Amino acid sequence: MTRADAAKLVAIIVTAYPNFDKFRDAQAVASTVDLWAAMFADDDARIVGLAVKKHIATNKWPPSVAELREIMLEIQRPELIAPDQAWAAVSDYMHTAGSWSGDHLDRALPPLVARAVEVIGYHNLYEMNRGAYGDSKPGMARVAFMQQYTAMYDREKARAMTPAEITATIDAIAGALPDKGQRLLAVREQDRRRKDREWDEITHLSFDSITMTARPALEG
């Protein structure tokens, strides 16, 4: 988005909120244009414009940069599901899939939602949801999922809302420092994926073996 684009959008905001005292100062308006031009430099002006229109339609006060970037996130990252919607999707999935259908989470749920369920363990979550554990209480599954997913969602949301240039600079600085933590996290996740694939292969081979053994008897 160019500075000219920023100026047009700020002018819309000034018109939409005529009683906002700050906009009566020409220097304050010019500073807002400069800020928007910097913070939305890497973004499509049409998307920023949509965010401005939505904010005007739903809020009584002018938007901050963070508020606009949050609306832009909703537009551009529909797979990043809010925690309450994510739990509803997981609850619906458990209701229809049953106790042992956690091996295809990546195809059944949005990526971040599937990852949160995977970390908890689908079977563990399912048992909590149906109250199979002796000390479980109603709502334990929801609490466990929301604690896990909300933290993951907040991190991903903050990263996605940050302008690309700022994120790239932060990543470059972090990449130049000695780091074992993030790399180890990535290795652990890769190892889990590999183990899951191995387990899937063993499961399918066992199922095929049982089917092949049972077929002659059924045919006879």
Whole-angstrom distance, CA of residue 109 vs CA of residue 89 = 7
* Structure confidence by residue, pLDDT tens digits, 130-184: 875 555 566 899 999 999 999 999 999 999 999 988 988 988 887 777 766 666 6
Counting the structural domains of the chain, the total is 2
| Element (DSSP H or E) covering residue 125 | helix 122-130
Same domain flag for 172 and 87 = yes
> Do the domain assignments include residue 218?
no
Residue 112 has pLDDT above 50, yes or no: yes
Q: Are 79 and 113 in contact (CB under 8 A)?
A: no
The SS3 assignment for 106 reads: helix
Same domain flag for 58 and 140 = no
The rounded mean pLDDT for the chain is 85
Same domain flag for 71 and 89 = no
Give the CA-trace dihedral at 174, 176, 180, 186, to 10 degrees.
60
Residue 216 has pLDDT above 60, yes or no: no
Instruction: Give the structural domain span for 30.
Output: 3-76
Q: How confident is the model at residue 101 (pLDDT cuts 50, 70, 90)?
A: low
Q: Are 153 and 86 in contact (CB under 8 A)?
A: yes
> Do the domain assignments include residue 183?
no
- Rounded to the nearest 5 degrees, what angle is found at the Cα of 46, between the Cα atoms of 45 and 51? 95
Highest mean pLDDT among 32-46, 174-188, 199-213: 32-46
Same domain flag for 69 and 130 = no
Same domain flag for 173 and 98 = yes
Q: How confident is the model at residue 207 (pLDDT cuts 50, 70, 90)?
A: very low
Same domain flag for 89 and 8 = no
State which of 76, 91, 110 marks the end of a domain: 76
Same domain flag for 38 and 63 = yes
